[in-house]
A = this chain, B = another copy of it.
């Protein structure tokens, strides 16, 4: 059972490789009657695409999306919606060295051992390029959520290595996120991050960091006991993203330093709506959204592609030296933001549909 599909009611199936013909995604369960064109999707792909700025990889892909099925006259029909992003800049470099060894902390070794064969060019199916499909599908989910519920999905870079944003989630100003290359809603900090990333690039090295994401205007009731808790599905979604190493919601790991008496979120009546004074829960209680913003963070490791000499072994198990060369992405964080947002949109839209199946069932 391969793992190319995600979601239950709003379900996507992803295909394609880094240097193959393209990346595609089938969206099953998109509601009928929603206006949808490539223009709704392209802006999100533009945020993810390589070559977008001086601090990302220089592979140059337009990442133009094409709708292959599922709409008629620019409106969704409720049937399988397919989005396709053709690959263009598949640099015809020589992969003969890479075919013979395992790049450290890449998927070369595990794919070779699992399948007995691997698509060497650009990492094939293990490449983060597959997330173009997630972003495209996420744009559709996002439109459904916005149109039906008014949900806002706000992701941004929380930290690059030791440079950390100190603004509380509720004080984030979303309009600042796109004012800088690194997508951090604090201009001064963002400039420091950019400098740090450029320095890493020059030294052929790479950096990691944390993306924080908020889902605002989520209705009460999304998420299911026992296993399909909203945070459980978010965690899976986030850990499926290439290079991610951790997920936390609300107070997260930091919350383990608190005590119940201060960690508990006190309910109060906020002009007729039940609200909580704090949001250590991160918008979910018992696995179900409580109407507060859903706030979570995702850790991304320093990209394994570096322009250095590294020890490794070849397919025969012999010690060899691998010489990293060419284009590399010194820090995936800026491009990770739209991917995190997209995966969050997919999870939320799926749970929204699951919720609707039962809502007020005996009333109508």
- Chain A residues with CB under 8 Å of chain B are 1-6, 8-9, 11, 13-17, 20-22, 24, 26, 28-29, 31-34, 68-70, 72, 75-82, 102, 104-107, 109-111, 113-120, 124-126, 130, 144, 147-148, 159, 161-162, 200, 205-210, 220-221, 223-229, 231-240, 245-253, 255-261, 263-269, 272, 274, 276, 280-282, 284-290, 299-306, 308, 310-313, 317-319, 353-359, 361-362
Contact = CB atoms under 8 A, between A and B. Distances in A.
Given A80-B4, A356-B357, A235 B247 contact: yes
Given A245-B252, A285-B105, A207 B259 contact: yes
Contacts of A306: 260-261, 264
Given A147-B362, A245-B249, A15 B263 contact: no
A286 B210 CA distance: 19
The oligomer's copy count stands at 4
A239 B102 CA distance: 32
A294 B133 CA distance: 29
B21 A200 contact: no
B251 A245 contact: yes
Main secondary structure of the interface of A (DSSP, over half): mixed
Contact of A105 (B17, B264, B299): B264
A80 B15 CA distance: 5
Given A4-B80, A77-B117, A258-B302, A32 B358 contact: yes
Contacts of A319: 268-269
A331 to B, nearest CB: 9
A14 B239 contact: no
A227 B6 contact: yes
9 contacts: A2-B225, A78-B117, A125-B225, A205-B260, A207-B260, A210-B256, A227-B240, A235-B247, A258-B302
Contact of A5 (B104, B227, B267, B313): B227
B248 A299 contact: yes
